[in-house]
Chain A
Amino acid sequence: MSVSAAHLGGGEQQQAAAVEPPQKRGVTGYILLLPGALWLTIFFLVPTITLVSTSLYDPAGSVETGYSMTWHWQNYVDGIRDYGVQFGRSLVYALLATVACILLGYPLAYAIAFKSGRWKNLMLVLVIAPFFTSFLVRTLSWQLLLGDNGFLVETLKTLQLLGPDGHLLATPFAVVTGLTYNFLPFMVLPLYASLEKIDPRLVEAGHDLYASPFTAFRKITLPLSMPGLVAGTLLTFIPAAGDYINAELLGTPTTRMIGNEIQDLFGAGAYPVAAALSVTLMAVIVAMVFLYVRRAGTEELV
């Protein structure tokens, strides 16, 4: 691994030293960029601009009467004031779900990468298998699993782990469980990809240099799997923070997340505040991701 990397490094230096042929690079690159750029312009850039400008419309407007652009920054203040609780709840739920995904997903990805032997492919298929059914259907089936007459609740009641009138469904626990379940594969797959690339000889070298299995994990395996952990965290946290299906199907009015409110506001035609909340959510997530990636320092990894 190190040898090939050194080789690549050498190649870069050579490339930098060589005179670059300017003609050859230009056109092909831009042509290849074109479809993607076009797609992003139509389906990302334009909607984002529309969303941001909608968030500044006069909230007095309606779908029937139309909206007018009044640079109404107050929409943001109103949104945070009215829905700050749900906002905070979304971030906390997403964080809990992400932590749960790491705790469940890391051992699983580790086992698939290093211990599964000939079962590796089967296990990977099993991780992806839930995607063969719809997100909605899978979440609905959690209603049955966590329901008051379900096997789980009955067992917990028998074991006295849950009070006689305890519930699982329609609790924060149910919402976080649903989020964890739905986003677990997004944690496992990048983690697996990262772990699988680790040369087991590095761990052997660690043992040889007096690192116990735990120290070798902490000093070698974990840092080398950081790119996967960071990717998995982002792929879990970002959609979880904006999710409303789990809160809708597994929660109650007191477990509503910001996604539910935005959905309702759009449904009720309160476009400007809904848009303002969406933009805020986006900005907060981008800021958090930025800080997280800076802290995790993945750019330093090979």
Chain B
Amino acid sequence: MAGSDLVLTGVTKRFGAFTAVDDLDLTVPQGSFFALLGPSGCGKTTTLRMVAGLEEPTAGSIRLGADDITTLRPYRRPVNTVFQSYALFPHLTIFENVAFGLRRTGAKKVKPQVEEMLELVELGQYGGRKPTQLSGGQQQRVALARALINRPQVLLLDEPLGALDLKLRRQMQIELKRIQTDVGITFVHVTHDQEEAMTMADTIAVMNSGVIEQMGSPAELYEHPSTTFVSNFLGQSNLVAATVVEKDEDHLLLDVEGSRLVAPLARAAALTGRVWVGVRPEKVFLAHTGSETDDGSNVLRGAVVTDVSFVGVSTQYLARLPWGQELMVFEQNTGARLSFRTGDQVDLHWMPAHTFLLDAAQDATAGVEREVAE
């Protein structure tokens, strides 16, 4: 690990009897856009505050490059934060807010730097205003400028887009990604919004109850979830109980209520006995009962459509299987596919390559309730 990677080793934070962060090991490579994703209360913000120096770990160490910064005071760390509430200084102008860090470090020629930074976030003519005279999106950009101008080794973003409306949030996601690519600073981004994390980050660490469930690129996490929590928190998943009956070099043969399914060995997080068979809703196709399906497809027959929601780009179906479980199916509205109505008898089929297996000991609904969070 070279340069100034951010390395957390065995970091634990307890508040009284409550363990917010539990023995966390994490390496954030220099220059990457790293997201800590998880529901509220999972410890992601506490982790961020420990990196910023606003909380001290109960145990473990935090290193930045060769320096141990575990107990370094926040104002001595080459780390800056974009706070969730922006925390702009209400008594200072936008210019002075952005110049705050530079003035503390005794930088020369503050004015051109601040003006350049305000231009970068497209607030050039707002320097003389007070924070309350700006809209939420503009305040967000001031908070970003105020942190970025110091050229920190690591920029921490604590739910930076949480207070913005959906459209503005999309815009800012692309903007943030562009700025990160431009300046090449390590960004550590904390969010509970999986879409936001996937849009921006190179690497996502999914956190739950103080530990990291899984870490990887957005595509890797989405296609190869290793726990039920990750499979449900990142996108949606259909999880069906199954038993492993046979195993060859590349595949596992499974039994689901009498149907035979195949899953690639490379996508199996559990190999024997009871397992969860998982498949993403957009990977599943519907067909009228009894119709031919491609050779080698995984097929579950005899289902009934119980709900149809048309959402424009796709139609979302719920199909009840003979044993009562309902699966989600998203069909793109390309016009090439049949559409179904409530009550239609259907078969569900998908490619074995899209099947993943998870440990049956885990709760199939873990991570589902994320809409309630925050």
Interface residues of A (CB under 8 A from B): 1-3, 5-6, 8-10, 199, 201-202, 204-212, 215-216, 219-220, 223-224, 300-302
Give Cα A91–Cα B219 distance, bound, in whole angstroms.
Answer: 75
6 contacts between A and B (CB under 8 A): A5-B90, A6-B132, A9-B133, A204-B74, A209-B147, A210-B101
B279 CB → nearest A CB, Å? 41
Segment at the interface with A among B134-142, B221-229, B260-268, B286-294: B134-142
Contact, CB under 8 Å: B54 / A204: yes
Q: Give chain B interface residues in 116-145, CB to chain A under 8 Å.
A: 130-136, 139
A211 CB → nearest B CB, Å? 5
Contact, CB under 8 Å: A208 / B74: yes
- Which partner residue on chain B sits nearest A297 by CB separation? B91
**Interface code B151-172, partner A: CB below 8 Å = 1, 0 otherwise?**
0000000000001000000000
Q: How many residues of B contact A (CB 8 A)?
A: 34
New contact pairs (12) apart from A6-B136, A302-B90, CB-CB < 8 Å: A2-B87, A3-B85, A201-B85, A207-B73, A207-B74, A208-B52, A209-B80, A209-B147, A210-B75, A210-B76, A212-B75, A220-B89
Q: Identify which of A202, A205, A300 contacts B81 (C-beta below 8 A).
A: A205
For A1, A210, A300, the residue with the greatest tally of chain B CB atoms inside 10 Å of its CB is A210
Give Cα A219–Cα B76 distance, bound, in whole angstroms.
Answer: 17
**Interface code B268-305, partner A: CB below 8 Å = 1, 0 otherwise?**
00000000000000000000000000000000000000
Contact, CB under 8 Å: A6 / B74: no
A210 with B105: in contact, given A2-B139, A6-B134, A302-B132 (CB under 8 Å)? yes
Q: Give chain B interface residues in 85-129, CB to chain A under 8 Å.
A: 85-91, 100-101, 104-105
A79 CB → nearest B CB, Å? 42
Contact, CB under 8 Å: A208 / B91: no
B311 CB → nearest A CB, Å? 30
Give Cα A210–Cα B53 distance, bound, in whole angstroms.
Answer: 11
- Which partner residue on chain B sits nearest A9 by CB separation? B132
Residues of B within 8 A of A3 (CB): 85, 136, 139, 163
Contact, CB under 8 Å: A302 / B87: no
- Which partner residue on chain A sits nearest B49 by CB separation? A204
Residues of B within 8 A of A302 (CB): 90-91, 130, 132
B213 CB → nearest A CB, Å? 29
Give Cα A34–Cα B215 distance, bound, in whole angstroms.
Answer: 69
A259 CB → nearest B CB, Å? 37
Contact, CB under 8 Å: B86 / A210: no
Residues of B within 8 A of A6 (CB): 131-136, 139
- Which partner residue on chain B sits nearest A203 by CB separation? B87
- Which partner residue on chain A sits nearest B78 by CB separation? A210
A224 with B91: in contact, given A204-B54, A210-B150 (CB under 8 Å)? yes
Residues of B within 8 A of A210 (CB): 75-76, 101, 104-105, 150
Give Cα A200–Cα B146 distance, bound, in whole angstroms.
Answer: 18
Interface presence of B340 (CB below 8 A): no
- Which partner residue on chain A sits nearest B135 by CB separation? A6
B272 CB → nearest A CB, Å? 50
Give Cα A220–Cα B80 distance, bound, in whole angstroms.
Answer: 17
Contact, CB under 8 Å: B104 / A209: yes
B160 CB → nearest A CB, Å? 13
Give Cα A198–Cα B79 distance, bound, in whole angstroms.
Answer: 24
Contact, CB under 8 Å: A224 / B100: no
Give Cα A271–Cα B330 distance, bound, in whole angstroms.
Answer: 94
Residues of A within 8 A of B133 (CB): 6, 9
Q: Identify which of B53, B86, B163 contacts A207 (C-beta below 8 A).
A: B53
Residues of A within 8 A of B136 (CB): 3, 6
A148 CB → nearest B CB, Å? 49
A245 CB → nearest B CB, Å? 38
- Which partner residue on chain B sits nearest A226 by CB separation? B91
Contact, CB under 8 Å: B135 / A211: no
Contact, CB under 8 Å: A207 / B90: no
Contact, CB under 8 Å: A205 / B87: yes
**Interface code B67-79, partner A: CB below 8 Å = 1, 0 otherwise?**
0000001111001
